[in-house]
A and B are shown apart, each in its own frame.
Chain A
């Protein structure tokens, strides 16, 4: 393992680190929005179950909340695309 590492040049090492950074970056960026979207949808479902007549309004607001939360994950995805070697 160490022999292999020693044989690779600095350039390849940099490429590999870039790839690891890109992958980790997207993974980290997805954690927060994942929890956030879960909270938004979960609360929307429980309020729809409590008051089915307001389901239409709740659904519209839920999509808005998802859209705003999801933006963070998407920015992480854009950074991932930009960092790809």
Chain B
């Protein structure tokens, strides 16, 4: 019954990778780790190569990539959410954007085809880092008491509604935020990978049994690959912009 593609691999087989080096030590390396190493090296290479050379007036090559990335983060992330005094977060936000983008984009690189962020470890680490940063900024800019008061008792709400609003704000600000941030990135990458695998398995199974019928899932596979390029870019952007929104919310409370 190859036609029904019943031999779909179990979900674990798609996301568990055996270690390929240093097995048994804490430094064991598998495909996920290699992808993160690639993302880290690529991010560092872009900015150090662009910085090492003398900047040209008309940017080209790697300098163009670095400058347009910085420009993009400054104009559509920082200025829209935090404002001019958020520029000190530019290095953090830009690095995070490129790191997430590079570890997502491996999803569609032929021969590699695995989004590293479809493992929960790195998204939750980044999200907890963001949690620490925005809480620290809130305490720094409003004081511990003012920060708690502004985030738990938002101004402009009728007093008796605080019975409902305060528990909701407590849970959503301090508990749900980092998890929703991590789950958003992780689940999008898992879903994208499953989608691509489904159409790839379907075209392979149909190719074996009745070749012309494989054309439809194969066309879908190509279309979905294009869609996943968009998704990996968009998820990097959304992670960065939500980080900026959270930081901006702690720095400038509503009055």
Q: Which residues of A are in contact with B by a Cβ distance under 8 Å?
A: 56-57, 60, 63-64, 67, 70-71, 74-75, 77-78, 81, 84
Interface contact B237-A57, CB-CB below 8 Å: no
Contact of A70 among B80, B184, B237, B241 (CB under 8 A): B184
Shortest distance from the beta carbon of B80 to any chain A beta carbon, whole Å:
5
Interface string of B71-104 (1 = CB under 8 A from A): 0000010001100000000000000000000000
In the bound complex, residues from chain B placing their C-beta under 8 Å from that of A75 are: 183, 187
Interface contact B242-A74, CB-CB below 8 Å: no
Shortest distance from the beta carbon of B175 to any chain A beta carbon, whole Å:
14
Categorize the interface residue count of chain B: 10 to 19
Please judge, given known A-B contacts A56-B76, A57-B80, A60-B80, whether A78 and B241 are in contact too, CB under 8 Å. no
Interface contact A63-B238, CB-CB below 8 Å: yes
In the bound complex, residues from chain A placing their C-beta under 8 Å from that of B11 are: 81, 84
Interface contact B187-A74, CB-CB below 8 Å: yes
Q: From DSSP, what is the main secondary structure of chain B's interface residues? A: helix
Interface contact B238-A71, CB-CB below 8 Å: no
Contact of B242 among A56, A67, A77, A81 (CB under 8 A): A67
Is B191 part of the binding interface, using a Cβ–Cβ cutoff of 8 Å? yes
Shortest distance from the beta carbon of A41 to any chain B beta carbon, whole Å:
13
Max count, chain A CB within 10 A of own CB: residue among B81, B180, B241: B180
In the bound complex, residues from chain B placing their C-beta under 8 Å from that of A64 are: 241-242, 245
Is B188 part of the binding interface, using a Cβ–Cβ cutoff of 8 Å? yes
Is B190 part of the binding interface, using a Cβ–Cβ cutoff of 8 Å? yes
In the bound complex, how far is the Cα of B196 from the Cα of A55, in angstroms? 33
In B166-193, the 8 Å CB interface with A consists of: 180, 183-184, 187-188, 190-191
In the bound complex, how far is the Cα of B234 from the Cα of A77, in angstroms? 19
In the bound complex, residues from chain B placing their C-beta under 8 Å from that of A84 are: 11
In the bound complex, how far is the Cα of B184 from the Cα of A70, in angstroms? 8
In the bound complex, residues from chain B placing their C-beta under 8 Å from that of A74 are: 183-184, 187-188, 191
In the bound complex, how far is the Cα of B238 from the Cα of A70, in angstroms? 11
Shortest distance from the beta carbon of B146 to any chain A beta carbon, whole Å:
25
In B186-227, the 8 Å CB interface with A consists of: 187-188, 190-191
In the bound complex, residues from chain B placing their C-beta under 8 Å from that of A60 are: 76, 80-81, 241
